[in-house]
Structure 1
Amino acid sequence: MGPGTGLRSGDLAAAAGVNLQTLRYYERRGLLAQPDRTLGGHRVYPPDSVTTVRIIKAAQRLGFTLDEIAELVDTGRRHARTDADLHERAAAKIREIEGRIGDLVAIRDTLRAALDAGCHDLRDCAGSPDCPIPFTGLAQDR
């Protein structure tokens, strides 16, 4: 990339919908390549950096961790990736999300049962045989 081409930090941040600290953080994490610098020391990113930052943000919204995103971005940079890379990772993420959904449904159902049982105080409820909240084992589960 020649001098004067590309995007300065503020322009990239604005175009990608993030702040400057996010760009610096992505650089430190290796998600975004270190940019070239102008003679005056300003960062200059390649134009495709906007797409990279948008991919990172979209992947975060889909539930991928930054470590997982780093692996996906790194795989793409090596140009040795196969469609199975994203496919396998997406399938694993779906399984993880489905597990969390199952947990959330169980939590919701337990809380709904507690409301239906008239639980108003956790201490009173814990001593009642009718309380649906599983007080035993909760501390051991975590």
Structure 2
Amino acid sequence: MNNPNMTDIIEAYLKKVLQQKEQVEIRRNEIAELFDCVPSQINYVINTRFTIQRGYLVESKRGGGGYIRIMKVQVLDELDLLDTMIEVIGLTISEADAKSVVQNLYDEEIISKREAKLMLVAMDQSLYTGERFTDNRIRANLLRTMLANLRYEEPNQRKAD
């Protein structure tokens, strides 16, 4: 049986709160106390699990009355999300971030399970040169091209899973 690590537990907690509200406002030290961990653990969870690639916006205010606000991005329509993801990808993207983009598109029902599987295969590091900068540029070009092509597909022409 797999025991979730602290990062997974904190992520699950924050996502559960986000299911009940459009946004969550937390104080890093309070959450660290709640989970009996160091505040940097909270930073790690937010920086790796609540990214724009995964469909979240994060705002923070430092200082005594500081907070961290996490919001689930509200997608107006498919084209809006595709355009946002194309912009987020930029000129380079890591394998992990590319996979997060694909997962987000699947979660938002923009792509089918089959399309997601194919896109994930194309993002897999085993297909690339092993030179990180070059690989990240090629991966970004490929993913941006895929998403741009999805912009012109009729949504009702896709087969259901």
Superposition TM-score, scaled by structure 2 size? 0.29
Larger strand share, 1 or 2: 2
Bigger-Rg structure (1/2): 1
Q: Which has the higher contact order (CA 8 A, sep 6+)?
A: 2
